[in-house]
Amino acid sequence: MARISGIDLPANKKILIALTYIFGIGLALSGKILNDIGVDPVTKVKDLTEAQVVALREAIKGIDVEGDLRRNIHQNVKRLIDLGTYRGQRHRKNLPVHGQRTKTNARTRRGTRKTVGGGKKKEEAKV
């Protein structure tokens, strides 16, 4: 099992897919990295040689992934909030940031529905 950027890549997956387990590397970037270092994308992770694993580590070293990328994203959001921009206010209020509608939908961002009033109706007493 190859360990790259602190992530154990699954041994039975193709290397093209396994690299996407690293935060910050998608399918397109994974293909580009493999093309640059000359590794066949359909090779299984368990079949990689040590030299190929080292080449992968070197190629990924120049890219912001995992902790560094998460920190950069968090700092960018915090900067928007501190500046008081419109996007920062939307982040602070936990509302969609990119112009989506909120009258309906937006449940993922806003959370479950909040009801006003009694909640469940009481069962009527049978006479």
Q: What is the reported pLDDT for 2?
A: 85
DSSP 8-state class, residue 112: S
Which residues lie below 8 Å from residue 102, measured CB to CB, with a gap of 6+?
A: 95, 96, 110
What residue spans define the domains of the chain?
A: 3-63, 67-99
DSSP 8-state class, residue 71: H
Question: CA distances (Å), 112 to each of 90, 93, 109, in order?
Answer: 18, 15, 9
Which residues lie below 8 Å from residue 43, measured CB to CB, with a gap of 6+?
A: 14, 15
Q: What is the reported pLDDT for 125?
A: 61
Q: What is the reported pLDDT for 126?
A: 64
Measured CA to CA, the distance from residue 109 to residue 97 in angstroms comes to 10
Fold classified for 3-63: Helicase, Ruva Protein; domain 3 (1.10.8)
Question: CA distances (Å), 38 to each of 12, 76, 80, 103, 123, in order?
Answer: 20, 35, 41, 50, 70
pLDDT in tens, the chain (127 residues): 788 888 999 999 999 999 999 999 999 999 999 999 999 999 999 999 999 999 999 999 989 999 999 999 999 999 999 999 999 999 999 999 999 998 888 888 888 888 887 666 666 666 5
